[in-house]
């Protein structure tokens, strides 16, 4: 019994790795939209600090572009649900997130400060 466990332990590095289940297309899409939103904001002068949580960054974004605060909140909330929760969004929810992102992209961000 002890010898069996010992040899099983020794064989761990050589065992086949289990495949990680791929995220659903809906989850992948919402995560991609959030990344695009963060990249868009960063390129316009409001980058995300690596230590910021999504909700902390959302507050910064709402101060940076107040007229789009609700859009930032909507996308961030759904991102957090799929990233950290056990939530599978519906097709309708995904469509709403996409529509919100398209609306947000049309917003005119403030010019970056020259400091």
Q: Where are the domains of the chain?
A: 23-105
SS3 113: coil
CA distance 64 to 48: 12
Identify the band that residue 39 occupies on the pLDDT scale cut at 50, 70 and 90. Answer: very high
Note the pTM of the prediction, 2 decimals: 0.76
Q: pLDDT digits over 47-99, tens only?
A: 999 999 999 999 999 999 999 999 999 999 999 999 998 788 999 999 999 99
Q: What is the pLDDT of residue 95?
A: 96
How far from each other are the two terminal CA atoms of the chain, in whole angstroms? 68
Supply 16's token pair.
């086949």
Q: Is the pLDDT of residue 20 over 70?
A: no
């Amino acid at each position: 019994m002890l010898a069996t466990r010992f040899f099983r332990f020794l064989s761990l590095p050589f065992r086949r790795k289990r495949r990680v289940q791929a995220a659903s297309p809906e989850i992948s899409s919402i995560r991609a939209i959030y990344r695009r939103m963060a990249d868009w904001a960063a390129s316009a002068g409001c980058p995300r600090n690596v230590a910021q949580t999504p909700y902390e960054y959302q507050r910064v974004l709402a101060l940076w572009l107040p007229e789009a605060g609700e859009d930032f909140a909507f996308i961030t909330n759904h991102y957090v649900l799929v990233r950290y929760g056990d939530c599978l969004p519906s097709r309708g929810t995904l469509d709403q997130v996409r529509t919100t992102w398209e609306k947000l992209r049309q917003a005119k961000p403030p010019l970056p400060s020259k400091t």
